[in-house]
Amino acid sequence: MHWWASIAGIGLIFAILMDAFETVVLPRRIKRHFRIASWFYKNTWGFWTRVGGHIKSVNRREGFLAYYGPLSLIVLLGFWAIGLIFGFACVQYGLGEHMTLANEAITFGKVLYLSGETFFTLGYGDITPNNAAARALSVMEAGMGFAFLGVVVGYLPVIYGLFATREVEISLLDARAGSPPSAAEFLGRLGCCPDQTVLDDIFRDWERWCAELLASHISYPVLLFFRSQHSNQSWLSALTVMLDVTSLVMTGVEGIHQDQAKLTFAMARHAAVDLAQVVSSTYSPHDPDRLSPADRHRLRTELAWRGVTLSLVPQDREKDKPDAPDRLTDLRDVYEPYLHALSRRLLMTLPPWIHNNRLKDNWQGGPWDRAIQARALEHPSHPVDDHF
């Protein structure tokens, strides 16, 4: 008897079942000890990004990287299945001569075939166990095969449901903050609205979005690799803009109270810090400055032109507190390093505070726009003109 094979097989089965249990059923800790899934994502993502780095076109590179999230799900499930089949084969092989296969010799390859046949409940009957231990093991493996199918059926809809929920708010941000979004566009487009409750309601919605992002992406880290439907949008861009906007409001915006902005900032910063740990991001002291002095001046001028006045002093400032520019720098220092780390790890571009050029929103573009405009020029009296 190859007892060592049985011990190794039992260890492999236990490791895979624990990994699947923690990934699917009990996925709630930010930092975990060694896990097969963590090792899998760390190594396969590194390989995938190295290949994607050779793609020069930004859109094509984003398209290539977008395949990783869904594909890694399928590959990980297959990895678990292969590991269980191999583990049960090792246990069966360690039990010794206990199977019947006509006049052929029983080899490990034949045992591996029996394990795969049993796991997927094919039931050809060409090779059968012939003692109680082997039969019990086959029944256990067949039951595990059914359970694995149930995991596949239940796990994938949960992942895609959470992904769809995340993308709803990102899509809504398109008309409110541009594509890609920016803090200047967000505040500028709301500058004409004096009602504080409008901004508070938006901040409250984003506070909940950040909480849902944190809970779902810690539980199911594969969602971090799912890209948005448009190459100029991402969950990281949306999170960054919320942190930028709320930090500006906390620094001081004339006519806007800070209470809800503080709550949203706290939740968004919490999400950034924890998610950076989930993907094992690393700190770098050489990250670029997202808001240079020149950009800060442009930001103030642009917002003033659009009806939003940035105060030099925060509304709750005391005499011994720093001035507004230092206050903004202090706020940026507590979240931007984590955003830069996530950007490097996931190859997602962080949005600017203010765009250098005027860009169209995603909703303003379409594949037929040029043809429609050309037709409108050819027929000025055509009713289509009324829609422009």
pLDDT, tens digit only, all 388 positions of the chain: 577 788 888 899 998 888 888 888 776 665 655 578 888 888 899 999 999 888 888 888 988 999 999 999 899 989 999 999 999 988 888 776 666 665 666 778 888 888 888 888 887 777 777 778 888 888 888 888 888 888 888 888 899 999 999 999 999 998 888 888 999 999 988 865 657 888 899 999 999 999 999 999 998 889 999 999 888 889 999 999 999 999 999 998 888 889 999 999 999 999 999 999 988 889 999 999 999 989 988 998 988 888 888 874 444 444 455 555 678 999 999 999 999 999 999 999 999 999 888 778 877 777 777 777 777 777 665 554 443 3
Q: Residue 314: its pLDDT value, please?
A: 43
pTM assigned to the model: 0.84
* Distance of alpha carbon 280 from the chain centroid: 14
How many CB atoms lie under 10 A from the CB of residue 85?
Answer: 22
Please report the beta strands in the chain, taking only residues with DSSP state E, as ranges in sequence order.
99-100, 128-129
Q: Residue 194: its pLDDT value, please?
A: 59
Residue-wise pLDDT tens digits, 332-372: 999 999 999 999 999 999 999 998 887 788 777 777 777 77
Query: CA 299 to CA 291: how far, in whole Å?
Result: 9
Q: Residue 28: its pLDDT value, please?
A: 63
Q: Residue 321: its pLDDT value, please?
A: 52
Residue 364 backbone zone (phi > 0: left; psi -120 to 50: alpha; other: beta) = alpha
Q: Which of 337, 323, 228, 326 is nearest to 290 (CA)?
A: 337
Q: Which of 218, 223, 219 is nearest to 165 (CA)?
A: 223
Q: Residue 31: its pLDDT value, please?
A: 60
SS3 content of the chain, % helix, strand, coil (to 5): 65, 0, 30
Going by the DSSP 8-state scheme, the letter that residue 101 receives in this structure is B
Q: Residue 261: its pLDDT value, please?
A: 93
Q: Residue 347: its pLDDT value, please?
A: 92
Residue-wise pLDDT tens digits, 75-100: 998 999 999 999 998 888 877 666 66
Q: Residue 383: its pLDDT value, please?
A: 52
Burial environment of residue 167 by CB neighbours within 10 A (0 to 12, 13 to 18, 19 or more): middle
Query: CA 317 to CA 319: how far, in whole Å?
Result: 7
Q: Residue 237: its pLDDT value, please?
A: 95
Query: CA 68 to CA 227: how far, in whole Å?
Result: 9
Q: Is the peptide bond before 180 cis (omega within 30 degrees of 0)?
A: yes
Query: Are the beta carbons of 203 and 260 closer than 8 angstroms?
Result: yes
Helix (H) / strand (E) containing 31: none
Domains in the chain, please, with CATH?
A: 3-153 (1.10.287.70), 159-358 (no CATH)
Q: Residue 312: its pLDDT value, please?
A: 44
Query: Are the beta carbons of 100 and 130 closer than 8 angstroms?
Result: yes
